Structure 1
Amino acid sequence: MSDTRDSPETADLRAALAASRRRESWLSAATDVITLMLLAEDPHDVLTLVAERAREASGADHCSLLLQHMDGSWRIDVATGLAADQVRGSLVEPHRHSVRVAVTGRPFTLEAGSSTPEELAPPFRRFGAIVYAALAQRDDRPIGTLVLANAPGGRSFDDEDVRLATAFAHQAGLALALTEARAAEDRLAVYADRERIARDLHDLTIQRIFAAGLSLQTLNRRLGASDPDLPAAAERLEAVMDELDAVIAEIRTTIFDLQLTADQEATSTRARVLREASRAARVLGFEPSVRFTGPLDSLVGGDTGAHLVAAVRETLANAAKHAGATRVDVVVTVETAPETTLTLDVLDDGGAPMPRWRPSPRTARQGLTNLAARARELGGSFHAGPAEDDWGTRVTWRVPLTP
């Protein structure tokens, strides 16, 4: 009868191969976590993947993440595998082994029955072998503990398991901290944008509604006079109605800006125009008013959208050069009848209106020349000069659209 037992050399080779596969599995798990960290917006998604991949890489029956919350409490927020539903959401007291590992950063392993009930948190008393590995700290404050566990009577964890779990937990903690920092940065950006929108509503839209209300009060008094001037009253009423229409357009733009998702913002022509207007505030010293009319995003994109965004940028830069301008109105209109056209109107209230622009090879106004060239390239027209009341400057850029 032949002896089928491996030689010492073969046994060592098998052990080395198994250890190599284990390290490869942990490395793959760490790569997955880092990749998700670059893509995920929700830290909980990263936590869930950390637990799932750690359990798969270690071959453990259970993995959970014990995390410290802002109020100082410790809770098992994520659990996967054996008894996950019974463990998830449990609170853990600060004196337990699992919490001390997070605070000290030193890993700890134990077998069933080798620790007193007082040291072992109740959620983990149902398991056999356990490994605790600390997640990386954040701002000198512990994040939490990665817990690997097997069923009673299952495989014990060796030193290599502890070392690999500790390295993985450290990387996972860094990934989580970066994801949370990015989420906090995104929230701050949203808050800043909402603050800007609220400021615009207060400084621009509400003031225009208030002015319209005063005009209506004046109109009411005139109509109550003994000999009212009805033609003048009708003209004033029409002007107020036009102003209220403009205010409604501004409010619609604001609502769109609030509802826009990140993916839409990256591709929407409307969002790109709004972004250019927001950037122009740095040189203007105030936020320009922006209004849209017509199906802009559905009809304008590609090269035409790129030319429009560039035209907005150049006209706002031109408006910034006018001394004394305190208001700039940007109006983007898409008309579908009688012809489908795109029109950009930019009006500022600068006290020194710009002379009517005419093409000239020696012109010094290179920005306006570029605007005219963009309009000609698309088969359109360009006009720049004094506003209708000779107070301020109006720039009009109009191009046809292919239906």
Structure 2
Amino acid sequence: MDPENGARVAPRLPMLLEAVLNVGSDLDLRATLQHIVDTATELAGARYGALGVVDPERGTVTELYTSGADDEARERVGRLPDGHTGLIGHLVQDPRPLLVPDLSADPRAAGLPPGHPAMRSFVGVPVRVGAEVFGNLYLTEKRGAAGFTTDDLALLRVLASQAGIAIGNARLYETARRRERWIEGAAACTTALLTGESAEDALMTVAEQARVLADASAGVVLQPTAEGGMEIVAASTPDDPADLLGAVIGPGSPVLEQLLGGEPVFVEDSATDERMTTHVRDRFGPSMMLPLQSGGRLIGTLALPRRRGGPPYTAADRLLASQFASQAALALVLADSGHDRERLAVFEDRDRIARDLHDLVVQRLFATEMMLESTRRRASAAPDAPPDLDGLLGTAVDELDSTIQEVRTTIFALQQPPADAPAGFRGRVLRETAGAAALLGFQPSVHFTGAVDALVREPVDRRLLTALRGALAAAHRRAGVTAVGVEVDAKARMPDGRPGVRLTVTDDGATGNGRHGTTVTWQAPL
């Protein structure tokens, strides 16, 4: 620097030193970037300043921090520069200091959007973090002078060098904080999954945690379908996710082939990427689709789409989200194993109760029934027996036999998995007849008429089931029974014309008067 230039720069050295000291005072990256552009604008005496953050993968400007332009001016400019045209594009492609005295005379200055403030002089310098170009610092419109000088350029290069160090520190801090948030989120997700949530709640927990951590518009979990595709089974969005649930990626999709192969898929723009085939793709832009797999087993896919025009995912975002997906998949497997162990414990307990009922309660009841039957026969042969004793003992025997039937039906129900327990009246009737089949030695035939599940409700269904158990127990006691028929008619009419339900149980066993075949009918209004 010659003496004349040094004389011009010297008055600004204190300002430069102050700027260098202040530029690294904040570890928040956004605050640091805004402080850099404000400091550079003041130091160079510029009217307008901007700092464009460059995406090294795509060669585009992803963020722009400005100084000197108010909100109205920024709104008039609108979109971000694409990083491919004009002087901004030139600096992105060729990151070297650039000084332009007159923008109107430089052909590289073309491409300013409508509404952009009028500008004449221009200076730009790259901001490097290590060997990587983080972005470029642009200043225009030198105040009180015809244009920027080489002295301004020299000062800005010093500031850009120190800014690179400050940005590097802020980026390290931000990366550490982001990693910490992902680790905490993964730990919270794992804790929630291992506390006994249902399968649906577990998938929703994964979707919700991932959406918040990735700053995505939606968190979606897809699972393979029987047809070979993938369906959205859990979705978390700030709005109603109903239109997302049930969306399917059809078989044969290139995206699907990658996902089923356990490979992640990264999409720049869901709306325009030909690989995306779901009907909701138009709503989203950048997206990550990460396989949820553990030990070679594919559980599903975690998709994290951002809004249209949203910032693309960085390499760090992809790495952290992939690590989260791996841990979430492991937690899902562990949670599923825990549920299986709990269900196995329940099955073992139910089986033990069923064995105890059969080996202890039923045998004792049966022995008591035999004793009463023997007493009944001896009492009926005694000349001084009370006339009503035979009837009383017969009633006691019938009650014990009915109780044995109900206990055995309960034993049969205990031996079925809880998921198989019927919810509707039709299913409960079928369960009762299946339980009776174990005692009768054959399966009773069952016939339904009308919308049984829709029409037969509490308390009518309980009364019908009690009557059915009694009729089946009576059929079991009769000799020579080889067939039992059960009919439930939900279209029956009561004697007074009201709608009702009729239960009819028939068998071909012998009756006490020597006839064969018995029909028991029970009906109730609906």
TM-score, normalising length: structure 1? 0.53
Q: How far, CA to CA, are the matches of 1:97 and 1:158 in structure 2?
A: 23
Structure (1 or 2) with the larger CA radius of gyration: 2
Q: Following superposition of structure 1 onto structure 2, how do residues 219-230 of structure 1 map, counting pairs within 5 Å?
A: 219-228=375-384
Corresponding residue for residue 267 of structure 2: 110
TM-fit CA distance, 1:145: 0.9
Give the structure 1 partner of residue 249 of structure 2: 92
Q: Is the contact made by 1:75 and 1:90 (CA closer than 8 Å) also made in structure 2? A: yes
The Cα shift of 1:99 comes to 3.1
Of residues 307, 313, 316, the one that matches 1:157 is 313
Structure 2's unaligned 5+ residue stretches are 1-40, 44-66, 68-136, 138-159, 415-526
Q: Percent identity?
A: 32
2:21 is aligned to none
SS in 1 for 2:366: helix
Q: Unaligned stretches of 5+ in structure 1?
A: 259-403
Task: Report the alpha carbon displacement of residue 71 of structure 1 after superposing the two structures with TM.
Answer: 7.3
Deviates more, 1:35-44 or 1:125-134: 35-44
Q: Which residue pairs with 1:351 in the alignment?
A: none
* Cα distance in 2, alignment partners of residues 70 and 207 from structure 1: 47
The CA RMSD measured in Å over matched residues stands at 3.4
The equivalent position to 1:27 in structure 2, one of 173, 177, 183, is 183
Deviation at 1:226, TM superposition (A): 3.5
Structure showing greater relative contact order (alpha-carbon pairs closer than 8 Å, 6 or more residues apart): 1
Task: Report Cα offsets for 1:139-187 as digits up to 9, x if no partner.
Answer: x331111111111011111111111111100110010011111111211
- 8 Å contact kept, 1:64–1:147: yes
**CA distance in structure 1 between the partners assigned to 2:270 and 2:381 by the alignment:** 98
SS of residue paired to 2:216: coil
Change (3 A) 1:88 1:114: closer
CA contact 1:136–1:171 (8 Å) conserved in 2: no
Q: Number of paired residues? A: 244
Letter in 2 for 1:91: V
Greater shift in the superposed pair: 115-124 or 188-197: 115-124
Alignment correspondent of 1:67 = 223
Tell me what 1:136 maps to.
293
Question: How far off its partner does 1:220 sit?
Answer: 1.1
Q: What one-letter code is carried by the residue in structure 2 that aligns with 1:135?
A: L
Counterpart contact for 1:107–1:162, Cα < 8 Å: no
List structure 1 runs of 4+ shifted beyond 6 angstroms.
none
Q: How does 1:259-298 map to 2 (within 5 A)?
A: none
Q: What is the alpha-carbon distance in structure 1 between the residues aligned to residue 297 and residue 279 of structure 2? A: 25
**For the structure 1 residues 72 and 120, does the alpha-carbon distance in structure 2 shift closer, same or farther, using more than 3 Å as the test?**
closer
Matched, 1:58 2:217: no
Residue 127 (structure 1) aligned with residue 284 (structure 2): yes
Give the 3 Å change call, closer, same or farther, for CA 99–40 of structure 1 in structure 2: farther
Q: Which residue number in structure 2 is paired with residue 197 of structure 1?
A: 353
Shift of residue 97 of structure 1?
5.0
Q: Output the CA distance in 1 between the equivalents of 2:213 and 2:273.
A: 29
Would the alpha carbon gap of residues 70 and 179 (structure 1) be closer, same or farther in structure 2, given more than 3 Å must change?
farther
Tell me the distance in 2 between the aligned counterparts of 1:223 and 1:71: 70
- Deviations 1:183-227 (CA, angstroms, capped at 9, x unpaired): 112112212221222222222211211111111111111221143
Structure having the higher strand fraction is 2
Given the superposition, is the C-alpha separation of residues 182 and 106 from structure 1 closer, same or farther in structure 2, using an over 3 Å criterion? same
Q: Is the 8 A contact 1:51 1:64 kept in 2?
A: yes
| Mapped contact 1:67–1:77 kept (Cα < 8 A) | yes
TM-score relative to the length of structure 2? 0.42
Q: What letter corresponds to residue 57 of structure 1 in structure 2? A: L
